[in-house]
A and B are shown apart, each in its own frame.
Chain A
Amino acid sequence: MKRRHWFSKTGLWLGLSFLYLPIVSMIVFSFNNSRLVTVWDAPNSPTLKWYGELFRNEQILGAAWLSIRIAAMTATGAVVLGTLAGLVLARFGPFRGRALLSGMTTAPLVMPEVITGLSLLLLFVALEQLTGWPEARDAATITIAHITFSMAYVTIVVQSRLAGFDNSLEEAALDLGARPAKVFFRITLPLIVPAIMSGWLLAFTLSWDDVVVSQFVAGPGSTTLPMVIFSKVRLGVSPDVNALATIMVLIVATGVVTSAIWMRRQERRRDREMQMAAAANK
């Protein structure tokens, strides 16, 4: 058994290096002086030249700001809708049309982006013909599109969190005289807060990252950051994109590592308390 363990351990480390190799190379070359991204210009490196250039690039900064706003709105909308859907699927028991709802919340997880993008654009066009709205495609249409595909992720996260909790908690609250709406806000909601938070971040990331769907539903005046990057890198490698990537990796890594440490601490404290409670019983 030891031998196989050794094999899979090696596999794990090789896999992790595979995952991190491109990221590391991107970070390294963001400090390279040369415009040829891959040739290390030893005499003049490392340099922060590309970072400076990045922060002078109005187009990128504008697009980033737009992306942040869209992502924040998307995440908030997706959390509201996804939480409701997750609650319905996990708690409302069978009802007519449940299968369709559950299908509509899992299909977007695997739906190819080109299909989602195309279909949403055609919907917006048809809506415009019928109702006059949306007059032009802009941040609003992008946000609606992003909410639609990212709420599925929130639903799954919330649903599985709720499935881990006993239904009887809510029943107990009802039994103690709380009305259903109150039960939701006092009992259910506090329990799923962690799921809602990770759902929010997930939806934010998905929206922040999306290029394909945005390309379909964006109008001329609304170019998101991934769209800018995509058009830039299609033309060739550009070093300021490396700088941008490095900044993003840094932000994400800080966030993920802090939250992991915080969660680990919480878990440890909880374990210790539970052990003490069990010991006190003896």
Chain B
Amino acid sequence: MAERRNDNKKEPWRDPSAQAYVQIENVTKRFGDFVAVNNVSLKIYQHEIFCLLGGSGCGKTTLLRMLAGFEPPSSGRILIDGKDMADTPPYERPTNMMFQSYALFPHMSVAKNVSFGLEQEKLPKAQIASRVEEILDIVKMREFAGRKPHQLSGGQRQRVALARALAKRPKLLLLDEPLGALDKKLREQTQFELINIQERLGVTFVVVTHDQEEAMTLASRIGVMNRGEIVQVGTPSEIYEFPGTRFVADFIGSVNMFEGQLIEDLPDRVRIRSAELGGVVYVDHGISAAPGAVVWAAIRPEKINISRTAPADAAENCVSGVVKEIAYMGDLSIYLVKIASGKMVRVTLPNTERLSDHERILWDENVFLSWHSSSPVVLSQ
């Protein structure tokens, strides 16, 4: 795990005395025989942007819908602000949700959509009007207040949906794939706007997404879900740099995985002999696994060096191979190198300089791959 920074106020999850705003305790949801959410426990703190990340059908949306109150948990309980939500219907919860489809009421204008929630609170008319204007200002949609949803573009609808969900000033905002329906450019731009709005209003966000880039940009913490279970919770960099399982390593970014056996297991260093690699991986930090156990060394493609000549210390953390594929992506290039065992190793190199063809490593060249002893992550499951 990463070096601990207990004193950091911005990371309440490191503080054991901090009070969680949302507590999910052993929650399971079954639909017939299908277990959508399996014994999930989570703590989400105030002012967080917590992303639930996972593939389709992993249970992330079901978990969100349980927070909103649309589905009751089959077992376990959900506490929001210390209060058990079991008997609280959605219309009495301190949460609001932004739907994946936006779910804008097609027969109401933008202003009416936004004021709908406020009208339910029976606020005075003048106050509703000023709150609507204020929130439409925040999402920059004030001039469209009189339009109907079908008169808006996709990005505008997204803003209205956000405004409608924020209008009641919920403590907890649930966002189901908030940017899923937008095109790539608009998505990037909107991500930062979302963060700005969240910081300005101090709302706690729980975001469901299948897009790891989106999760990395938005989240203060990410909960990776697979088959109804939370497999890992951590900050984006923790999840990326220190994945806890092979699933997480593989799901977030790309990774080269070498299966091997522990041959040396000391508190400050580990050696793994891997037949797949045809060599030894030396790692400069300890892990917890039985000696002789089967483990996997995971190395990110950007943490591997590629060179024509063998590095100085070639005994460990080094392997040779032949370049089989090169993909030029503009900002970086991806190399697929076939090593002796037949395994393809993925390497990315940033294109920091303009190289002419004879300087650049090309197809069918023999190359050496090497990495620093801090780079591999050892995974036992």
Contact = CB atoms under 8 A, between A and B. Distances in A.
B374 to A, nearest CB: 46
A177 B117 contact: yes
Interface in B27-78: 68-70
Contacts of B106: 169, 191
B120 A178 contact: yes
Nearest to B90: A174
A232 to B, nearest CB: 47
A166 interface: yes
Contact of B99 (A171, A186, A270, A278): A171
Contacts of A175: 68-70, 90-91, 93, 95-97, 165
* Interface bin, chain A: 20 to 34
Contacts of B152: 277
B156 A281 contact: yes
B175 to A, nearest CB: 12
A280 interface: yes
Interface string B144-179: 000010111111100000001100100000000000
A270 B164 CA distance: 23
Interface of A is mostly: helix
A174 B116 CA distance: 11
Contacts of A186: 116
B105 A174 contact: no
B107 interface: yes
A277 B121 contact: no
A277 B90 contact: no
A251 to B, nearest CB: 30
Interface string A268-282: 001001101110110
B27 to A, nearest CB: 19
A184 to B, nearest CB: 13
A44 interface: no
Contacts of A166: 101, 103
Interface in B105-156: 105-107, 116-117, 120-121, 148, 150-156
B120 to A, nearest CB: 4
Interface of B: 68-70, 89-93, 95-97, 99-101, 103, 105-107, 116-117, 120-121, 148, 150-156, 164-165, 168
Interface of A: 166, 168-169, 171-179, 182, 186-187, 190-191, 270, 273-274, 276-278, 280-281
12 contacts: A169-B103, A169-B106, A171-B103, A172-B103, A172-B164, A174-B90, A175-B95, A177-B121, A179-B91, A274-B151, A281-B155, A281-B156
